[in-house]
A and B are shown apart, each in its own frame.
Chain A
Amino acid sequence: MRKIIGGFVIILVGAYMGFKMSQKYKKREENLNYMIEALTIMQTRIGFCADRLGEIFITLSHALRGEMGALFTEVSEKIKRGNLPADAFWETLTVREHTLCFTERDMSIMEELCKQLGKNDCSHEICQIRKTIEELSQNKQEAQAAMAKEGKLTKSFCFLSSILLVILLM
């Protein structure tokens, strides 16, 4: 009886781990989506209102929720402390890279944007943001595909591994 309960617990933990690990694919897709939304707002604010980046980050911190909202709140606080907006944005992104489940490719796209952000005239800023949105949209599609494929694979792998472990232990 004890063995059956133990085996059941191991399978349950394995399945939970698989579920949790597959969540990072979903989280990446969600956060990429939020980032695209944020950049779209930024593009509008720069193009039509000529708002400064500091003001835009404050707007974004109110407009977005969850981890992305927290990211922009932290950026706004850093700007208030005297950091330059693009530097504060990149610094916060690198700190939260793993929480956001961003990949190296996502980060290199964002790095490219942060290097240019706030240093050009309006049309160049908009071009740069538009380019970033396009690249992130491609990554989002990849993330969706990965979520469907690798997410299931991870869940199945963990579940089957836990069953195998139970068999071996018995």
Chain B
Amino acid sequence: MLIVASEHIALPSLFRYLSHNLSRILVGVPMDSLEEIRIRLSKPVVLHYTQKIMFLDKDGGMTGDKGRAYIAQKSDLTECVEKLSHGSVYAYQNEIQNGYITTQEGDRVGISGHIVMDGDSVGTIREIASLNFRFSREIIGAADMLMPYILPPDGPKSVLLLSPPQCGKTTMLRDAARQIAMHHKTVIIDERCELAGVSGGICHYDLGLHSEVLSGCPKDIGMMMALRSLSPQFMVTDELGRTEDVEAVRQALNCGVTILASMHATNISDLKRKRGLEDLYGLFDVVACLGLLNGKRVLTQVEKPCEKS
């Protein structure tokens, strides 16, 4: 079991997207291990830390007492959405249809509310009822324990990183992409604009010298585009989850590209139980599981399917 190097986390930049009231009372709240802020209409604002859950105190700071918690108003949610969309909701229509807005720093804000359907697909979300601010992190060295599996002495290997939500998959993937792209041509397919945090064509995170980013593009389409035009040695993508993704991974591997990808799964057995996605296990050279142990990120399970077969 390997333990990740100690984290150095920059202060979150999400405050400028919060309503005036919220940003005023959030001053003084410790940010070191803050992972999420959940703002639910007419409910206390909840602060999720790595190892504890607290409420936002109505007089500023944080509290464990629900009675003293700040209750989110409709104006807070409206103001936050206006600020998140830079006063241009239409420009974020596609993201809102998928249930989130990604900030230019690569932080993702989940949205819930009343879904308005447009035919068979989601048209928009109105009467927004809650926002979930998730703080993305750039931890240099976060992928150090994974790198020996990706770039062993006998040549690059395709790696699938499994983990439940909130364990730092994207952070690890981001650092791995950075380390790979120092020496290899790498294409990052960033469907949710979270991995690279591209804004105005510039990556918010350090993703290495030889990286190209296809942002906002569905993974399967992005992989094919990259194969045709960018001649990558490596492809990095986050959260595989559709059967189309499996086929795209297969095609990319057939073309000789090495893939580093992540996926939501508790462990390898969980992956094998996922209908339509179980084939992923046999496609990758290494399947690794990331988990939390006493607040530290560790690789809990590593298997090499090729060696097994």
Chain A residues in contact with chain B, CB under 8 A? 46, 50-54, 79, 82, 84-87, 117-122, 124-125
Contacts and interface: CB of A to CB of B under 8 A. Distances in A.
Nearest to B82: A84
A51 B93 contact: no
Contact of A54 (B16, B86, B123, B124): B86
Interface in B265-287: none
B16 A52 contact: no
A67 B87 CA distance: 24
Contacts of B16: 82
Nearest first, the 8 closest Cβ-Cβ pairs linking A and B are A84-B87, A85-B87, A52-B88, A118-B87, A122-B90, A53-B88, A118-B88, A52-B91
Interface string B75-92: 000000011011111110
Interface residues on B, range: 10 to 19
A79 B86 CA distance: 9
Given A50-B93, A118-B87, A121-B124, 4 more contacts: A46-B90, A119-B89, A120-B89, A125-B90
A50 B92 CA distance: 8
Nearest to A126: B90
A111 B291 CA distance: 53
A85 B86 CA distance: 7
A53 B91 CA distance: 9
Contacts of B86: 52-54, 84-85
A67 B97 CA distance: 39
Nearest to A118: B87
Contact of B87 (A50, A51, A54): A54
B87 A86 contact: yes
